[in-house]
Amino acid sequence: MRILHTMLRVGDLDRSLAFYTDVLGMRLLRRKDYPDGKFTLAFVGYQEESEGAVLELTHNWDTASYDLGNAYGHIALEVEDAYEACTKIKEKGGNVVREAGPMKHGATVIAFVEDPDGYKIELIQRKNRND
């Protein structure tokens, strides 16, 4: 078994696609409209679906926003340099909600950004082999 994807419901698909592709550098892997169901599915990721897990962005045509609830945590992305990633994300209009720095009670360097729907994405700086 392996994880295929994580699904997020989004209120504005074009806005979300712009964030995940332009700001976070993912690729749009596939997109399909389902007129009878009044929804669109778009899959984004850094690798092909056969190579690794991706995100499924689900846009229900009649829903402009969602309540995130308090059970959802975040998506985690590994980055070479969390400080540099935050700078680039801000330059592209992304919302950094926790600047890069060591995690509380630890040494791992992390940051958090927020997508247009309010979903949190953690950036975890890749550790050196000596860490």
| DSSP class per residue in 65-104 | -----SS---EEEEES-HHHHHHHHHHTT-EEEEEEEEPT
What is d(CA 33, CA 23) in angstroms, rounded to the nearest whole number?
Answer: 24
pTM: 0.88
Length of the chain: 131
- Provide the annotated active-site residues: 122
Residue 54: per-residue pLDDT: 97
What confidence category does residue 130 fall into, taking pLDDT thresholds of 50, 70 and 90? low
Domain that holds residue 120: 75-125
Residue 67, in any domain of the structure: no
pLDDT in tens, 47-100: 999 999 999 999 999 999 999 888 889 999 999 999 999 999 999 999 999 999
**In degrees rounded to 5, what are phi and psi of residue 31?**
-150, 135
What confidence category does residue 1 fall into, taking pLDDT thresholds of 50, 70 and 90? confident
Residue 49, in any domain of the structure: yes
Residue 11: per-residue pLDDT: 97
CATH of the domain at 41: 3.10.180.10
